[in-house]
Amino acid sequence: MKDQKGFTAWFTGLPCCGKTTIAKKLYEILKKHGYKVEHLDGDILRKDLTSDLGFSKKDREENLKRVTFVAKLLTRNNVIVLATFVSPYEKRRQKIRKEINKFIEIYVKCPVEICIKRDVKGMYKKALAGKIKDFTGINDPYEEPINPDLVIKSDTETVEESVEKVLKKLKEQGFIS
């Protein structure tokens, strides 16, 4: 195992923008290089840790509050955390940054039209049909990060290009060697 310092790389963006795809590839690379790394994904954690919550603004806030606690614990114990959450509200993301401290915000930017085309679960279709309320990007806002540490343009970059940008930024920030 590498002698490492923990940090959280927080991927934010619209549903289906590519957050999880990029983080999974990054996870594989970091693991291969001997880093202790965990991937906290919104879809997975909502099945267990936050299964009692819905998607109202209040429930989203509570979901992110719980996830932040987990990420902070892992980070404090020198684990690299890759967190992939829509996290649509700027104020909450700023609270997360402050609470975790060793933190990098990665905005995976992608037009909603592209996200709709990528949606294999049909969530956007249901939201557009009025079957899902409070769906980010359709009937609930996504507040773009004001000052993210890195912007990934997943509609024009390949996954490999995006991952390389993240790795480069992590090295520049001194998070990995």
Q: For the segment 41-75, what is each residue's pLDDT rounded down to a tens digit?
A: 988 888 888 889 888 889 889 999 999 999 999 99
- Please name the residues in contact with 155: beta carbons below 8 A apart, sequence gap of 6 or more: 109, 110, 111, 114
User: Is position 176 within any domain?
Assistant: no
What is the model's pLDDT at position 51? 85
User: Is position 20 within any domain?
Assistant: yes
What is the model's pLDDT at position 43? 80
What is the model's pLDDT at position 48? 83
DSSP 151: E
What is the model's pLDDT at position 45? 85
Number of domains in the chain: 1
* Domain harbouring 148, CATH code: 3.40.50.300
pLDDT at 1 over 80: no
Question: Each residue of 71-112: pLDDT tens digit?
Answer: 999 999 999 999 999 999 999 999 999 999 999 999 999 999
User: Is position 50 within any domain?
Assistant: yes
**What number of other Cβ atoms are within 10 A of residue 171's Cβ?**
11
User: Is position 1 within any domain?
Assistant: no
User: Is position 119 within any domain?
Assistant: yes
In the annotation, is 154 catalytic? no
pTM of the entire structure? Answer: 0.94
What is the model's pLDDT at position 2? 61
Give me the catalytic one of 87, 154, 162, 177: 87
Provide the sign of the torsion angle of the four alpha carbons 123, 163, 11, 152, taken in this order.
negative
The mean pLDDT value for 15-24 works out to 97
Q: Which domain holds residue 88?
A: 7-171
Question: Each residue of 111-148: pLDDT tens digit?
Answer: 999 999 999 889 999 999 999 888 999 999 999 999 99
